[in-house]
Amino acid sequence: MTEVAQPSASVRVVRVGPVDFEVEFRTGPSPRTAPVLVVRAPAESPRIMAQQAEAVVSWADLVGVRIGGVTAPGVLPAGVGMEDLADGLGEVLDELGLARVNVCGGSFAGDLAYRFAVRHPDRLERVVLTGPGGRVGDHLPPGMGPLELAERLMEAGRPATADYIASALLCLDPALPVRGRAVLRRAMLEQLHRSDDAEFHRWLRCLELQYTAPPLTGDGPGAPLLAVTGEHDVPAPPAACRALAARCPQGVFATIRESDHFVFLTRPSEHLDLTRRFLLDEPLDDLPYLAELERPYRTAAVVPAATG
């Protein structure tokens, strides 16, 4: 039996000013495009990250980044904001000797990836943002701010706070079909219940970064950019996702059927397939899992998605 060589991986910490970036680099056997910089989100568990890495390295090298005090253990100093982190990603690429990359991120990481793309357009090949909301505080219900949640945690306790968070982030309307909704809700509640104080503080710090981020202004990057989300996303509604794509001259907007904000968890195969197709510049038309597909920059032209 012929053994198939496994992609090599290395993990290191790159310190940029007061911020630690935990960097995982995986090389694939036959890359077909520039390395893929994946900015990790809080909801991505080690199992999810491993599955994504295995899929990506079949066609590209992968650079996975977690941020100390936000998505990795550590403390993110007060005063460090989204722009600082976006510029820090650029310095990570300098440290790795990578001039240009594809960039991916979901949820909080999608918002950060977009700000990186705006501030460092010369480093881009293509960009995939999943569930980017711009300013998440514009779409979440009252009481979801970091200070309010900290107070709720002190007054109501961990179980009640976890239930409130899950109810705010998930689409719970029974009239709207979302695959894996019940399983994801249970998993989210269990994760929040199990979290120690340090993990919960990192989650609140992530939320604080999003709530305090300056508003987006002007056009987005000129590189091809896909903004995709679940068709029933709550914290990053499709309209907000479309508006982000509409800022970009080569922006594409799409929604995946029967999913909400956590589409990368509940429909991972479809999400990874769409990501691969876009980064390799393959056609996106007539994909059965897409509910919407549009190129909205300065035009109202719609590319029909498949029905059924």
pLDDT in tens, 230-245: 999 999 999 999 999 9
**H/E element, 203:** helix 197-212
User: What's the pLDDT at 194?
Assistant: 83
Question: Helices 158-169 and 181-194, interaxial angle, to 10°?
Answer: 140
Q: Is the pTM of this model over 0.85?
A: yes
User: What's the pLDDT at 16?
Assistant: 97
User: What's the pLDDT at 47?
Assistant: 83
Nearest 10 degrees: CA dihedral of 39, 42, 48, 52?
-10
**H/E element, 90:** helix 82-96
User: What's the pLDDT at 2?
Assistant: 36
User: What's the pLDDT at 304?
Assistant: 41
The first and second tokens of residue 106, run together, are 């979901």
The strand pair at 19-27 and 8-16 is best described as antiparallel
Give residue for tokens 């960039």.
Answer: 103
User: What's the pLDDT at 8?
Assistant: 64
Give the residue from 124, 129, 138, 120 showing the smallest Cα distance to 83.
120
pLDDT in tens, 136-174: 667 788 888 999 999 998 899 888 988 999 999 999 999
36, 28 contact by CB (below 8 A): no
pLDDT in tens, the chain (308 residues): 333 344 568 999 999 999 999 999 999 999 999 999 999 988 788 888 888 999 999 999 999 999 999 999 999 999 999 999 999 999 999 999 999 999 999 999 999 999 999 999 999 999 999 999 766 667 788 888 999 999 998 899 888 988 999 999 999 999 999 999 999 999 888 888 888 888 888 989 999 999 899 988 889 999 999 999 999 999 999 999 999 999 999 999 999 999 999 999 999 999 999 999 999 999 999 999 999 999 998 654 444 444 43
Separation between Cα atoms, residue 109 and residue 104, nearest integer Å: 8
Cβ contacts of 49 within 8 Å, gap of 6 or more? 24, 40, 64
Centre a 10 Å sphere on the Cβ of residue 207 and count the other Cβ atoms it contains: 24
Domains with residue ranges and CATH for the chain: 8-138+212-294 (3.40.50.1820), 146-209 (no CATH)
